[in-house]
Amino acid sequence: MNWSAFYVPLYFAEVCAAVIGYAFVKRRVAEAAQPARLKFAQLGKKLLDSETLSEKDRSVVESGIASAFSGWPMFLFVLAIPASAAKLAVQYISGIRGNKISSADENSDDLRVFKGLMFLSWGAASPLVFLVCIAEMLIVSLFVLVICGSWRAIEQTMEIFINSGETLISSRPSRRRSSAC
């Protein structure tokens, strides 16, 4: 009996099972993320209603809300993490310290929570890429911990990751539909 005749149908069945399984997992993750997404939307509205929000932060909030259910920001993060890690390495080698995020205004805590919820919302939209992104962040964080020897350096690394990702997101032209469509 020729067993090679079973490879193509078996491969096809595996691909179908993977696609159906991923759709099932994606649906479950989206359902689990719904409370966080609702808090994300409420916090975004609160931040946009604030008079003290800077234009840069307003752009980040608007872009985050507009892309809350999109999977493409996670792809950008996967691409941005190696570039951010290279930037961090150059800063470390040359002795340049990054700008610290100021927490002087009243929106800083809300903005930090908003960015975390934004990241989770994007991750729920694309769970597989989210796992790749988390793995990249973990690997870079371990290198930072070994090289710098401090947890504060890991916190600064995460801030660089988030800032580089939000720069990519807010600089992307928005695709708003006109009301005439």
Closest CA to 23 of 35, 15, 13: 15
pLDDT confidence of residue 141:
83
Query: What pTM does this model have?
Result: 0.74
Condensed to tens digits (0 to 9), the pLDDT of residues 30-72 reads 999 999 999 999 999 999 998 888 888 888 889 889 988 888 8
Cα dist from 53 to 20, 110, 112, whole Å: 43, 11, 13
The domain locations on the chain are 3-171
Number of neighbouring beta carbons within 10 Å of residue 144:
23
- Cα 58 to chain center, whole Å? 18
Q: Which residues, at least 6 apart from 52, have a Cβ–Cβ distance to it below 8 Å?
A: 105, 106, 107
Condensed to tens digits (0 to 9), the pLDDT of residues 160-178 reads 777 666 666 665 554 444 3
